[in-house]
Amino acid sequence: MSDHNYHAELDARGLFCPEPVMMLHNRIQDVEVGQVLRVLATDPSTTRDIPRFCQFLGHELLSQNESEGEFRYLIRRCQE
């Protein structure tokens, strides 16, 4: 899935743990089951926290990449 195939976005750049995951927890509720949320972050701890969030809550982490200190994630909402 390319980085432009998403339905909603969460911009958590400039925020530090635990704020990005707390915001993700709220924002994922605004996305319909099956839709994709793109998350942008600058906190390196998101590379650990976001995959764990997805695993714990049953969402699908479609992609995770980093470029020049910016982390991008595509997450498919899989649970109600």
List, by residue number, the catalytic residues: 17
**How far is 72 from 76, CA to CA, in rounded Å?**
14
Is the N-terminal amide bond of 44 cis, ω within 30° of 0? no
**How far is 40 from 19, CA to CA, in rounded Å?**
13
